Structure 1
Amino acid sequence: MCSLKNNSDTSTASRTQADAPFTGEGIFPKGELNEAFARYFTGTSYLNMLSLEGVIIGNVTFEPGCRNFWHVHHKGGQILLVTGGRGWYQEAGKPARELRAGDVVNIPPETRHWHGAAKDSWFAHVAVEVPSEGGSNEWLEPVSDEEYNQLK
C-alpha cells in the first residue's frame, strides 16, 4: 500500500515557490540525460545521482509527458520526494494519484507501479532506494498511451 503525504502546513513562501511554473531546474540540478535507464522510459528524463554510498539517492527529472515503465522494487522498496512540477504515481489495480511538490510517496517492496510527468508539466522527484540485502528492480512493460492519455 502506498503512503501519500501532502504537507498542508507548508509556509506561504514555500507554497508560492511550489506553485510557480516548473521548468525542470529545481533545488537539485536536473543532471544529464538519463541514458542509463532510457530504455525503461517513454519520453525524455534526466538523472542526477545525489548519493551512491549507503543509501542510493537520485534526482530524476521528467520532461512533460515522460513516464517510466511499470516496475517493481524487490525487497527494499522506494521513497519518492516530489520537488517540482506535476506528475503521477500509480500502483497496479488502483487509480493514478496526482503528485505535486511536497508530496511524499512510500512504495513498499513488491509493489507494481509507475511514476512520471503530467502531459503539460515538467516533473521532478528525489528517488530514495530503501536499503535491503538482495534488493533489485524489475522493469516491466511500458505504460500504454491509452492508460496515460486518460489522465488529466
Structure 2
Amino acid sequence: MGELARTIDQPGYFIKLCGSSDELRSAMPSGWGLDQERYFMTGRQASTPQPLTQGYTIEIEQSDMIRRVAIRYESGDQAASGYAVESHDAFIYDRIETAPAYRRKGLGSVVMASLAQTKRGDVPEFLVATNEGRLLYEALGWRVLSPYATAFL
C-alpha cells in the first residue's frame, strides 16, 4: 500500500483496506489522511419491504448489475436512497442513506428490502457501514467481517 501511495501525487484517489485504520496509517507516507473507520459486514436482508406511509413514493432503477432505490416525500425531497451491485459472487449494498429529517421512520429498511428484491442469484450480501450503521445492521442480524479503512490524499 505504501508503495502504491508513493506513486500518487494528485488528490481524488483513495486506498482502501479490509483492516484497521492503524494498520493503514502505518503503511501510508506523510500527506495522506484517513477517513473515519468503517466496517465490512455480511448478512441477509429481508426482501419484503414494509409499505410506505402516505406521502412517500419509491423509485427503483436497474441497469445491468447496478440497482438504485430512492424514496421521495411529497414535497419532492429525497428522503432515503441506496445502491446495490450484483456480480456472480456477491450482492453489495452501497450508499444507503436516510436524510436527517426523515430518520426513524423505517425508510432505510424499505430501501434495503427493495434493493434485496432485485437480487437474481443466491449470493452472499455485503456492505460497508459507519459505526452508527454497524449498530443498526448488527441489530438486524448482520455481522462484522473486518474493520474497513480508507486513506486519501
TM-score, length basis structure 1: 0.29
**Greater helix proportion:** 2
TM-score of the aligned structures, taking structure 2 as reference length:
0.29
